[in-house]
Amino acid sequence: MPGPVSSMRGTRRLSVCCPSCWPGQRGHAHDPQAGRVPLVEAYRVTASLLVKLDETELAWLAADRAMTVATGDPLLVAAATVQLGQALRAAGRAREAGTATLAAAYRIGTPDLDVARLSLCGTLLVQAALAAARHGDDRAAARVDEAADLAAEVGDGNDHHHTSFGPAAVALARVAVAIDLGTPDEAIVRHEKAVGRDGWRWLPPEHRAAHLIDAGRAYLQVADPVNAARVLLEVDRTAPAEVRHRPAARNVLAATVRHPGAPATIVALAATLGVTRA
């Protein structure tokens, strides 16, 4: 984690680069109780965006701010823990991410959960599964199974606590877990089933695009640049900012165009975006 000096520097950078947090900060300062939820949500959005941009230290700071503001409200703390898990995983601290998200899921997991709590609990279990897969823990599959049980009760097309949790989201998580566990063939089979589900179209464009970038990684792992190119072109149609500005997407794009069998269409996109074969 960042040390005291880097944390202070990061805090100043966060205050500069996070205009979406300013109204929430003012509202929270004026009325801490009423302003708590919007400020936590602003920090959550900021942390998620910074993870995508590979700004892991700032992402952790934003998630930590969300946790601090949420203190005293178990549901808000659980919601903020979703982004804390993402930031920790992005920073290479997958074990800590798994511990935090799993503990948060079990903390709010009671027998009489309403649909909103089910969504939050299930999302935390998904995060715990992704963290486990990142450090090669076979228990990742069991975590996804737990999440799937909750997803069956929630259904698709919901966005409780801004989680988009449901059976479709869990199906995508199984793909990511398979990739990180080193089974790309399984990941591809699961991907092709997942995008054929009715719930696929209910997911936000950014969620679908992030999954397609993962699918591109899986296709490259089995030396299939044609399908890697296909899903990346779909990302560009679905959520152009994802492939144009997200480092992970640009890395997959670069790896695809380096392949001897890369289609001309993906080479053209790479050239447009300034991504070279080198």
pLDDT at 109: 84
Residue 52 tokens read as 């995508």
Same domain? For 29 and 83 the reply is yes
**DSSP H stretches of helix in 155-246:** 167-180, 184-194, 205-221, 225-238, 240-245
Q: What does the pLDDT look like over 164-223, one tens digit per residue?
A: 999 999 999 999 999 999 999 999 999 999 999 999 999 999 999 999 999 999 999 999
Q: Which of 149, 171, 201 is at the close of a domain?
A: 201
Residue 201 tokens read as 């179209």
The verdict on residue 252 lying in a domain is yes
Question: Which range, of 18-22, 153-157, 158-162, 256-260, averages the lowest pLDDT?
Answer: 18-22
pLDDT at 19: 54
| In the predicted structure, residue 77 carries a pLDDT above the cut 50 | yes
| Per-residue H/E/C for 234-273 | HHHHHCHHHHHHCHHHHHHHHHHHHCCCCCHHHHHHHHHC
pLDDT at 190: 98
Domains: count for the chain? 3
Same domain? For 47 and 70 the reply is yes
Q: pTM of whole model > 0.85?
A: yes
Q: Which of 65, 92, 119 is at the close of a domain?
A: 92
Q: What does the pLDDT look like over 5-44, one tens digit per residue?
A: 344 344 445 554 555 554 545 544 554 566 799 999 999 9
The verdict on residue 44 lying in a domain is yes
Same domain? For 7 and 71 the reply is yes
Same domain? For 88 and 117 the reply is no
pLDDT at 111: 72
| In the predicted structure, residue 56 carries a pLDDT above the cut 50 | yes
The verdict on residue 148 lying in a domain is yes
| In the predicted structure, residue 97 carries a pLDDT above the cut 60 | yes
* Rounded average pLDDT over 243-252: 94
Taking each helix axis from N to C end, the angle separating 32-52 and 74-90, rounded to the nearest 10 degrees, works out to 20
Q: Which of 45, 71, 92 is at the close of a domain?
A: 92
167: domain range? 105-182+194-201
* Rounded average pLDDT over 261-272: 96
The verdict on residue 100 lying in a domain is no
Q: Which residue has the higher pLDDT, 146 or 23?
A: 146
pLDDT at 112: 77
Q: Quick one: which of 146, 131, 66 has its CA closest to 101? A: 131
